[in-house]
């Protein structure tokens, strides 16, 4: 579920906390762990003029975490028009990550452990350069570009994602087409495409976090790691989806071989 916080001074809040798994926000504020509530309070108590400009621009922030990891805290910075895409990204980070095979999570365990404690994701529809995402050498998103006590001295990193380009991207054309054909014979093609999009997004997020942690690592190695993550998580999802279909309702899957 997404919990929307109360209005302040007659202006709707433009900051949300994605809470699919019901975080204990009070508990997370112990042991110097970044608190989503504290960052929300910081964003909502900045000078009225700054908040008004953001409200006019319809700039919004959605905070989320990888399931069962206290760090990094991810802030999805987006415009109102892109709010549905931002929620899909939060779902990928929380729910889809939780459902990926342990071997896929283990491949990024050390990377996520070494990642900046707070990562801003600038969500874009497209990049002029056609890239799916970038690691930013410096933080550009204004509320997070300067130190504040709410950040607890935590290192802050920033990446961007071009979600419309990612949606059209075909990382593994042959295997993706084969899966698409299987689901086309069944009744779950739309569900398949939704999960496929979220897993592509998740693989790009992990790819760019890898670059944040190890900027000197060879691009070929980083890309191979993220493509392996995507391939194995897609195969895991497809296997489970097909095996749990009711053949009474969807007899077309009985033709799979």
Q: What is the pLDDT of residues 13-71, one digit of tens each?
A: 577 777 655 555 444 444 467 889 999 999 999 999 999 998 899 999 999 999 889 89
Q: Identify the pLDDT of residue 24.
A: 52
Look at residue 121 and give its three-state secondary structure.
strand
Greater confidence, 190 or 59?
A: 59
Q: Identify the pLDDT of residue 192.
A: 83
Domain residue extents for the chain: 2-255
Query: Structure pTM?
Result: 0.83
**Pick from 70-74, 143-147, 178-182: least confident:** 178-182
Mean pLDDT for the stretch of residues 183-206: 84
Give the C-alpha separation, 111 to 123, whole Å: 22
Q: Identify the pLDDT of residue 35.
A: 86
- Strand extents, DSSP E, the chain: 2-4, 15-18, 59-65, 73-79, 118-124, 133-136, 156-162
- Say if CB 104 and CB 141 are below 8 A apart: no
Q: Identify the pLDDT of residue 180.
A: 58
Give the C-alpha separation, 187 to 11, whole Å: 44
Q: How confident is the model at residue 232 (pLDDT cuts 50, 70, 90)?
A: very high
- Name the region of 210 (left: φ>0; alpha: ψ -120 to 50; beta: rest): alpha
Give the C-alpha separation, 18 to 36, whole Å: 10
- Is residue 191 predicted with pLDDT exceeding 70? yes
- In sequence order, the 6+-apart residues with CB closer than 8 A to the CB of 211 are 135, 159, 217, 222
End-to-end CA distance of the chain: 38
DSSP symbol at 11 = B
Q: Identify the pLDDT of residue 252.
A: 44
Report pLDDT digits (tens) over 165-183: 999 998 876 566 556 556 5
Residue tagged 């749990």 (tokens): 244
Q: How confident is the model at residue 185 (pLDDT cuts 50, 70, 90)?
A: low
Q: Identify the pLDDT of residue 193.
A: 86
Query: Which helix (H) or strand (E) element contains residue 151?
Result: none
Distances (CA, A) of 126 to 105, 133, 222: 28, 9, 22
- Say if CB 117 and CB 73 are below 8 A apart: yes
Both tokens of 246, joined, read 């009711």
Q: Identify the pLDDT of residue 83.
A: 96
- In sequence order, the 6+-apart residues with CB closer than 8 A to the CB of 77 are 59, 60, 61, 120, 121, 122, 123, 141
- Say if CB 211 and CB 222 are below 8 A apart: yes
Percent of the chain with pLDDT over 90: 63
Both tokens of 57, joined, read 């621009």
């Amino acid at each position: 579920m997404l919990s929307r916080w109360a209005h302040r001074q007659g202006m709707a809040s433009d900051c949300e906390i994605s809470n699919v798994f019901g975080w204990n926000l009070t508990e997370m504020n112990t042991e110097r762990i970044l608190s989503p509530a504290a960052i929300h309070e910081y964003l909502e108590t900045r000078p009225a003029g700054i908040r008004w400009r953001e409200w006019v621009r319809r700039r919004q922030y959605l905070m989320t975490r990888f399931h069962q990891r206290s760090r990094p805290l991810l802030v999805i910075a987006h415009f109102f028009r892109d709010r549905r895409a931002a929620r899909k990204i939060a779902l990928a980070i929380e729910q889809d990550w939780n459902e990926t095979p342990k071997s896929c999570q283990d491949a990024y365990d050390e990377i996520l452990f070494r990642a900046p404690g707070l990562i801003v994701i600038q969500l874009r529809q497209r990049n002029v350069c056609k890239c799916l995402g970038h690691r930013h050498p410096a933080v550009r998103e204004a509320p997070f570009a300067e130190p504040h006590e709410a950040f607890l001295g935590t290192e802050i990193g920033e990446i961007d994602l071009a979600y419309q380009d990612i949606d059209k991207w075909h990382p593994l054309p042959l295997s993706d087409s084969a899966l698409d054909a299987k689901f086309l014979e069944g009744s779950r093609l739309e569900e398949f495409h939704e999960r496929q999009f979220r897993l592509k997004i998740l693989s790009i997020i992990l790819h760019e976090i890898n670059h944040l942690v190890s900027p000197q690592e060879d691009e070929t190695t980083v890309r191979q790691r993220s493509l392996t993550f995507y391939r194995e998580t897609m195969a895991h999802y497809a296997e489970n989806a097909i095996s749990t279909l009711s053949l009474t309702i969807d007899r077309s899957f009985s033709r799979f071989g």
